[in-house]
């Protein structure tokens, strides 16, 4: 049976303490720069804050994973190398990386450090995952959210490392680490700058009838009716009109969150080693609620009890949830 570690998000030191206190086995976080994929204003850690966070977590037997999961632009690798050096000095337990150059630097410079392969690397085949394991000593892969449980079970038997899967939170099915939609409209890159829909280019307009438009870089990407639930202002979750769909439709994906609470026993049985909760950009309230709920569920399953997980739909995007491809490839 896998250990079913619970890997929890933290966007601030207070959120990290909240996650630790709520029962996280490990907390993942990032610096206040482009080295991680949640480079949002006012979010993340300074080196001093990370040092205190590591001490707080380790005193409570919780690991800290540092996300260095963006791609350095050509010739601009110093920021990532410096972040890796700082993380190693501060005693984080592992780095979450996507870029081969970053992985290679850490493998050579800090060979004692544990490497996890980020979902941003989009490694979904045994061949790709084995390449990262053999070349850089990767110990764990975070799988893209496009695989069924039987596929995960099959991959588990063909790779020499642990598997981590997302179980809750934002559900983006673009080829992860390759999405250029934000870059197309804003000039900033999700993969290299760490910003999807940068806040400074997002605005909302409330209309007289109670409806609300969300815009990115001046382009309207959705308009929610007066009673309609809203989603994130990301292009992939936008609703667009087209000559053949004048009523407007979700061209890429729908605003919906992943929730695999009912599939936890099957994931454990398939050999998944760790469960990841998305949401470094979310509040302490979200962290507290989601981590507590999944902590209880995992403990119940480990003890042979049926997990009775709390209703988390209020915390989901658009207040809708799905089991996505984990349940069936036909989910959409």
Residues 28-31: contacts with CB under 8 Å, at least 24 apart: 28/64, 28/65, 28/66, 28/67, 28/96, 28/276, 28/280, 29/53, 29/64, 29/65, 29/66, 29/67, 29/280, 30/66, 30/67, 30/68, 30/69, 30/194, 30/280, 31/66, 31/83, 31/86
- Considering only residues 43-102, where is the footprint of other proteins by CB under 8 A? 43
Shortest distance in whole angstroms from residue 218 CB to other proteins: 13
Q: Does 309 bind other proteins (CB under 8 A)?
A: no
Residue in 204, 245, 249, 262 binding other proteins, rule: CB under 8 A:
204
Q: Does 303 bind other proteins (CB under 8 A)?
A: no
Q: Which stretch binds other proteins (CB under 8 A): 14-22, 116-124, 150-158, 236-244?
A: 14-22
Strand-pairing partners, residue 250, are: 239
Residue in 228, 241, 242, 269 binding other proteins, rule: CB under 8 A:
228
Shortest distance in whole angstroms from residue 137 CB to other proteins: 35
Q: Does 220 bind other proteins (CB under 8 A)?
A: no
- Sign of the four-CA dihedral 78, 82, 5, 128: positive
Query: Nearest-CA neighbor of 220 among 196, 248, 193?
Result: 248
Q: Does 213 bind other proteins (CB under 8 A)?
A: no
Unique residue bearing structure tokens 């079970």: 153
* Distance, CA of 199 to CA of 216 (rounded, Å): 9
Q: Does 310 bind other proteins (CB under 8 A)?
A: no
Shortest distance in whole angstroms from residue 242 CB to other proteins: 26
Residue 23 phi/psi, 5-degree rounding, is 115, 20
Shortest distance in whole angstroms from residue 67 CB to other proteins: 17
- Considering only residues 143-202, where is the footprint of other proteins by CB under 8 A? 198-200, 202
Q: What residue ranges in 136-284 does DSSP mark as E strands?
A: 140-142, 162-170, 202-206, 212-216, 219-224, 239-242, 245-250, 257-259, 274-277
* Distance, CA of 254 to CA of 249 (rounded, Å): 9
CB of 86 within 8 A of CB of 113?
Answer: no
Binding mask 246-275 for other proteins (x = CB under 8 A): ---------x--------------------
Shortest distance in whole angstroms from residue 302 CB to other proteins: 28
> Is 58 or 288 the residue whose CB approaches other proteins more closely?
288
Shortest distance in whole angstroms from residue 233 CB to other proteins: 8
Cβ neighbours of 82 (radius 10 Å):
14
Shortest distance in whole angstroms from residue 276 CB to other proteins: 18
- What does the binding site for other proteins look like in residue numbers (CB under 8 A)? 11-15, 17, 40-43, 198-200, 202-206, 208, 212, 224, 227-232, 255, 281-286, 288-289, 314-319
């Amino acid at each position: 049976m896998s250990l079913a570690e619970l890997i929890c998000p933290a966007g601030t030191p207070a959120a990290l303490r909240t996650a630790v206190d709520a029962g996280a086995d490990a907390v993942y976080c990032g610096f206040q720069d482009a080295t991680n994929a949640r480079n949002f204003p006012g979010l993340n850690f300074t080196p001093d804050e990370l040092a205190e966070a590591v001490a707080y977590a380790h005193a409570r037997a919780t690991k800290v994973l540092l996300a260095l999961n963006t791609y350095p632009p050509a010739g601009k690798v110093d920021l990532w190398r410096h972040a890796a050096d700082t993380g190693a000095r501060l005693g984080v337990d592992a780095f979450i990386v996507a870029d081969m150059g970053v992985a290679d630097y850490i493998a050579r410079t800090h060979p004692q450090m544990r490497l996890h392969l980020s979902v941003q690397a989009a490694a979904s085949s045994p061949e790709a995952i084995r390449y990262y394991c053999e070349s850089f000593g990767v110990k764990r892969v975070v799988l893209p959210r496009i695989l069924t449980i039987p596929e995960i079970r099959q991959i588990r038997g063909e790779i020499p490392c642990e598997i981590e899967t997302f179980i809750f939170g934002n559900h983006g099915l673009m080829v992860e680490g390759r999405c250029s939609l934000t870059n197309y409209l804003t000039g900033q890159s999700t993969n290299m700058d760490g910003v999807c829909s940068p806040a400074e280019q997002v605005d909302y307009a409330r209309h007289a009838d109670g409806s609300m438009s969300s815009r990115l870089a001046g382009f309207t990407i959705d308009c929610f009716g007066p009673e309609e639930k809203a989603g994130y202002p990301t292009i992939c979750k936008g609703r667009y009109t087209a000559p053949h769909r004048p009523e407007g439709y979700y061209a890429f994906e729908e605003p919906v969150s992943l929730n695999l609470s009912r599939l936890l026993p099957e994931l454990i049985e398939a050999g998944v080693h760790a469960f990841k909760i998305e949401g470094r950009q979310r509040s302490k309230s979200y962290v507290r609620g989601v981590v507590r709920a999944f902590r209880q569920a995992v403990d119940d399953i480990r003890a042979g009890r049926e997990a009775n997980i709390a209703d988390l739909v209020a915390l989901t995007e658009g207040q809708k949830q799905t089991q996505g491809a984990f349940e069936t490839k036909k989910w959409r």
